[in-house]
Amino acid sequence: MKRIAKTSTGASNSLDAPQRNVNGAHRFFYVFAPSKPMLLSAFKHVSLVCLILLFVLSSCNTKPKIGFLMDSLEIERWNKDKALFEQKVNELGGIPYVEVAESDPAKQLEQAKKLLDEDIDVLVVVPVDSEKAGEIVKLAHKHYVPVISYDRLIKDCNLDYYVSTDNIHIGELQADYLTKISPKGNYVLISGPTSDYNAYLLHLGWMNVLQPLIDKGDVNVVLDEFSEFWLPDEAYRILSQYLKDKNEVDAIICGNDVLASGAIAALKEHQKEGTVLLAGQDADLQAVRNIVAGNQTITIYKPIEMLAYAAANAAIKISDGEAPSNMHLTVNNGKRLVPAILLEASVVNSQNIKMTVIQEGYIGEQEIFN
Ligand code: GAL
């Protein structure tokens, strides 16, 4: 490289000796005259830097980050939700960020903070507590991150979207099935925890069917309790307590299969297993086996794949600044009408196991019958 120092007077060409200009200030003047090879090599360097920059920019920032806050993975179905959701988000070019709160609402809030600090674009939440999770929505909105409530509704806040099944209808399906077999009799109702709004919705569905029969004097609800957690021990405790003193039970409707399994344990102790109608939900493997064994009447199969895919699709669309497709309904969460997708669920009984869960690939035939 040629470097020529020129002063305002032209008296010196030394680079190091500052020269006085007309105003008396010291200044340098450089004249830059690169050779052709120099220009070529500079051009090559600049091109290389541009290419690296382009690569870094395109690889680091175009993939949408989708947060998925889950309650717990203790219950079988949630493992399927997780795997399917992650798979779909990846397939659509996003990056899933999953956190599991182990049934602790405070921990779930912390996990929300963590994901928001990691600059996620959209947050999908299975709320541990339907009321408390409103804080998560508020926090996400402070970061301009929209929230999709997954399976369970987040109540009383400006929730953006809701993807679930029609939980009232699930309750109706359960009660309808059992009352078709036993339109008269003593019914026991064991709901999930009140912190999960789905527990109320199911109960509402049960009562839609039972109330007219109660009014007629045909059905008697002898026990109606909400459990503290979605745990088998809870249903076992509730039903054992009842069966200690009383014997009258013709049908039991449970919030899910885990509660139904606790009910079966209590029935067993009173030599009543298989003699009482029993409805659960989730199509857990053990529940389907119980149906085959005659210890459970029905379970409800929710289309988990469709649910997880719908949420993943919606999240990616939203991250692209588009409106999610198929949000044709709205659900009132106490604060606003939330755009929603509500999928249909179906009954699984001893007659249709092959046509439902097996055909859908939800559970393998071998797993059930071996
Ligand atoms: C409910 C959900 C059920 C069941 C339960 C326990 O909200 O709708 O399918 O899994 O939680 O996790």
Is 256's C-beta closer than 6 angstroms to any atom of ligand 1? yes
Integer angstrom CA distances of residue 19 from 2, 8, 32, 147: 20, 8, 18, 66
Is 222's C-beta closer than 6 angstroms to any atom of ligand 1? no
Mean pLDDT for the chain overall: 89
State which ligand 1 atom lies nearest to the alpha carbon of 152. Answer: 7
Is 273's C-beta closer than 6 angstroms to any atom of ligand 1? no
Pocket test for ligand 1, best of 73, 198, 229 (most atoms within 8 A of CB): 198
- Are 364 and 232 found together in one domain? yes
Give pLDDT, residue 21: 40
Give pLDDT, residue 4: 35
Which tens digits make up the pLDDT trace of 107-126? 999 999 999 999 999 999 99
| Residue of 224, 211, 289 lying closest to 251 (CA atoms) | 224
Pocket test for ligand 1, best of 195, 282, 301, 304 (most atoms within 8 A of CB): 282
State which ligand 1 atom lies nearest to the alpha carbon of 230. Answer: 6
Is 191's C-beta closer than 6 angstroms to any atom of ligand 1? no
- Are 6 and 129 found together in one domain? no
Which tens digits make up the pLDDT trace of 195-245? 999 999 999 999 999 999 999 999 999 999 999 999 999 999 999 999 998
State which ligand 1 atom lies nearest to the alpha carbon of 281. Answer: 9
Element at 173 (helix H, strand E): helix 167-181
Integer angstrom CA distances of residue 299 from 37, 112, 224, 233, 302: 78, 33, 19, 19, 10
Query: Among residues of the chain, what percentage have pLDDT more than 90?
Result: 81
Give pLDDT, residue 45: 72
Q: Strand, helix or coil at 113?
A: helix
For residue 256, report the distance from its CA to the centre of ligand 1, in Å.
Answer: 7
For residue 297, report the distance from its CA to the centre of ligand 1, in Å.
Answer: 19
Domain count, the chain: 3
Where does a domain end: 60, 87, 102?
60
Is 77's C-beta closer than 6 angstroms to any atom of ligand 1? yes
Pocket test for ligand 1, best of 153, 227, 256, 348 (most atoms within 8 A of CB): 256
- Are 214 and 276 found together in one domain? yes
Strand-pairing partners, residue 27, are 19
Give pLDDT, residue 44: 72
Integer angstrom CA distances of residue 13 from 21, 23, 35, 216: 14, 20, 20, 112
Which is more confidently placed, 347 or 37?
Answer: 347
- Are 114 and 206 found together in one domain? no
| Residue of 205, 176, 191, 222 lying closest to 349 (CA atoms) | 176
Single-letter residue type at 40: L
Pocket test for ligand 1, best of 77, 79, 346 (most atoms within 8 A of CB): 77
- Are 149 and 212 found together in one domain? no
- Are 146 and 239 found together in one domain? no
State which ligand 1 atom lies nearest to the alpha carbon of 151. Answer: 8
Q: Are 191 and 210 in contact (CB under 8 A)?
A: no
pLDDT at 249 over 90: yes
Task: Quote the pTM value.
Answer: 0.84
State which ligand 1 atom lies nearest to the alpha carbon of 198. Answer: 7
Phi, psi (rounded to 5 degrees) for 29: -125, 125
State which ligand 1 atom lies nearest to the alpha carbon of 258. Answer: 6
Q: What range does the domain containing 144 cover? A: 64-159+304-343
For residue 309, what are the contacts with CB-CB under 8 A and spacing of at least 6? 84, 88
- Are 42 and 152 found together in one domain? no
- The CATH number assigned to the domain holding 135 equals 3.40.50.2300
Is 198's C-beta closer than 6 angstroms to any atom of ligand 1? yes
For residue 367, report the distance from its CA to the centre of ligand 1, in Å.
Answer: 22
Q: What is the dihedral of CA 56, 99, 132, 228, to 10 degrees?
A: 170
pLDDT at 2 over 70: no
Mean pLDDT to the nearest integer, 281-294: 97
Q: Are 239 and 267 in contact (CB under 8 A)?
A: yes
Q: Assign 54 a pLDDT band (cuts: 50, 70, 90).
A: low
Q: Whose CA is nearest to atom 1 of ligand 1?
A: 198
Give pLDDT, residue 5: 38
- Are 299 and 309 found together in one domain? no
Q: Assign 43 a pLDDT band (cuts: 50, 70, 90).
A: low
Which is more confidently placed, 3 or 141?
Answer: 141
- Are 142 and 213 found together in one domain? no
pLDDT at 363 over 50: yes
Give pLDDT, residue 132: 98
Give pLDDT, residue 247: 81
Give pLDDT, residue 55: 59
For residue 115, report the distance from its CA to the centre of ligand 1, in Å.
Answer: 24
For residue 281, report the distance from its CA to the centre of ligand 1, in Å.
Answer: 8
- Are 136 and 255 found together in one domain? no
Which tens digits make up the pLDDT trace of 141-199? 999 999 999 999 999 999 999 999 999 999 999 999 999 999 999 999 999 999 999 99
Is 282's C-beta closer than 6 angstroms to any atom of ligand 1? yes
Strand extents, DSSP E, 329-368: 329-332, 337-343, 346-348
- Judge residue 333's burial from the number of C-beta atoms within 10 Å of its C-beta, 0-12 exposed, 13-18 middle, 19 or more buried: buried
- Are 98 and 118 found together in one domain? yes
85/306 Cα distance (integer angstroms): 10
Helix-helix angle 257-269:285-293, to 10 degrees: 40
- Are 81 and 106 found together in one domain? yes
Instruction: Find the largest Cα–Cα distance for the chain.
Output: 117
Where does a domain end: 11, 45, 60?
60
